[in-house]
Structure 1
């Protein structure tokens, strides 16, 4: 047999003097094949380099055994951890993962959905740009199960797994705003998505709970680079420029909340350059618990997001939806964890 030819079930069967049906049952774990015969078949299939024909299997089963995963940016540490969790969980269930990246571009998102439709995936896990909800309608109309992650699409009846961002911010701010904190600034990303809105809502909820007037605090927007297809989701230099123009020895927040830990890097520099110190003059609360957060001076207090749990829960939910298409919609928001370090005193 030429090595360039694809090894088939018939090839394995002929080498062992068995029927192709017996070989198929053994390799798919079916009953009525003795363990000794199964072991012999598996060993010979491995020796010959037999690989199951997924296309042929899909024609029989009606499934491709592929899950589509649409995310905004894999360099975001939350999404990087999410990808690993999704791939691990899908692999354990016998599925492969088709990863598509949008960089928060409407055009890329529409292209990704069309690719998934052409491929005929069994289900989709998606982080939406939230600019055009109708983009996902093609999957819905094709009866392809969809679970939204992190950002939901209202009115579409899709399953959802996300983080309770509003409560995470509100609880963290109240906890780190010790006596003396009267001015709190939020350095947020200029992106119109639900997670940004939830952080702002959590910030304002915390102000109300602390009895701090909203006019004494600020929500500052850092220009986003994510829609330009940048290799990194955030950059500290824009946060630094904005903070450096506003923070002075006589005009500074008692507590600065940053929408991600990259922004905190810029804030640290701006605070230091105007002669102030973290946390003595300005306490800093980050978001995301990026790997460098614990190694800053002082170490950054931040909010750790349950990326692994979110990925695992999303895959489990999607597999249940595939098995039970008519089950009621499920919406889950996982709690985040405050990691207290020196930056908040």
Structure 2
């Protein structure tokens, strides 16, 4: 059986009796080709099954037409939406996407920077493993623009677009306090990253400004599973065991806030098994607005993160850097607001589960 041969511009030109140059100009949208000729060439290209050779096109344009995207864990619903938005936005502008996953490994993070440089991508969108970000700074200085997503490096001149975690956690905690809570605790993952630190800062600020002075530290660290597998980065069982300890303690808090909605699953179970009711006995607030949040009973009050807005803004900023528009400007640092979605879990005396 003969091996299928890739259809070329020469094949289309021969079929229509026109020059290869005319076919090339027609398919790349050049103005020097009449609309009737362009339509005829495109129709013949479709009939023959022509697929553009992106590598050849890159050589002509002097650009790979590819953006690198480095993510710590794509199973995170926030990052899954981010990937989808970035891929769609890039495709609108004619760019393909190279996805690399680091799984919170510093070695993987550095290897990702080296891979992007080796493959010659036009720019990089990066959720970095925080710590030493010098390899991303070097990539940026080498001519491959870098935009950090969700986590940044304040000491480095790298563009950053993320969530205003401090403000959103502050507002979520105030909402629970406004609902009557005077004793609160926060179940937060133990990963040393800026989103976690910012949420803790916002939570503590809300307590301080409300005149609440806990006698014990209200922040409880939940073990993270991010470095163990490509599965979901959070394990409700860990939050469940910690919530059990809280429930069995001498002083039951008025409200429990969690750093992500998966921890709320563990909190709900611990409260239910102790014959306590979410909202009536303990207010609960989440973070992330994951798909199941609205279907818990009672529905979970949580913070909805602006993943689509971050993805769109990041691609637009990166392409501006790639094209050299404003490339001499100082690095941009953008923190986009999140939205508190109020549901029944933060309303005492609830009469419904919506």
**Equivalent runs, 1:34-73 vs 2, <5 Å:** 34-73=34-73
| Residue matched to 1:340 | 342
Deviation string 1:245-273 (CA, Å, 9 cap, x unpaired) is 23227422111110000000101111122
Greater alpha carbon shift after TM alignment, 284-293 vs 129-138: 129-138
CA distance in 1, matches of 2:29, 2:101: 36
Q: For residues 195 and 210 of structure 1, what CA distance do their matches in structure 2 show? A: 23
Q: Secondary structure at the match of 1:116?
A: helix
Partner of 2:352: none
Q: How many residues align?
A: 344
Which residue is 2:85 aligned to? Answer: 85
User: Which 10-residue stretch deviates more, 322-331 or 180-189?
Assistant: 322-331
Distance 1:179 1:161 in 2: 32
Say which is worse superposed, 279-288 or 138-147, in terms of deviation. 138-147
Aligned equivalent of 1:328, options 330, 338, 344 = 330
Assess, with a 3 A threshold, how the Cα gap between structure 1 residues 271 and 194 changes in structure 2: closer, same or farther: same
* Structure 1 residue 106, shift from structure 2 partner: 1.1
Q: Unaligned stretches of 5+ in structure 1?
A: none
TM-score, structure 2 normalization: 0.94
Which residue of the partner structure matches residue 183 of structure 2?
183
5+ long unaligned stretches in structure 2: 348-354
Structure 2 CA distance, aligned partners of 1:230 and 1:257?
26
1:20 and 2:20 matched = yes
For residues 174-323 of structure 1, the aligned pairs below 5 Å read: 174-178=174-178, 180-215=180-215, 218-248=218-248, 250-323=250-323
Aligned to 1:140: 140
- Alpha-carbon distance in 2 for matches of 1:103, 1:179: 38
State the Cα distance separating 1:217 from its structure 2 match: 5.1
| Residue matched to 1:168 | 168
Deviation of 1:137 after TM superposition, in Å, equals: 3.3
**Is the 1:184–1:256 Cα contact (8 Å) retained in structure 2?**
yes
Alignment of 1:106-125 (within 5 A): 106-125=106-125
Q: Deviations over 1:26-54 (max 9, x none)?
A: 00000111111001100111111222222
SS at match of 1:257: strand
In 1, distance between residues paired with 2:205 and 2:108?
35
Distance 2:277 2:304 in 1: 24
Any idea what SS the aligned residue of 1:177 has?
helix
Offset at 1:318? 0.5
Tell me how far 1:301 sits from its aligned partner.
0.4
CA contact (8 A) 1:184 1:218 kept: yes
Greater CA deviation, 12-21 or 272-281? 272-281
Q: Give me the TM-score of the superposition, normalised by structure 1.
A: 0.96
| Cα deviation, residue 154, structure 1 | 2.2
Residue 180 (structure 1) shift: 3.8
CA distance in 2, matches of 1:136, 1:249: 46
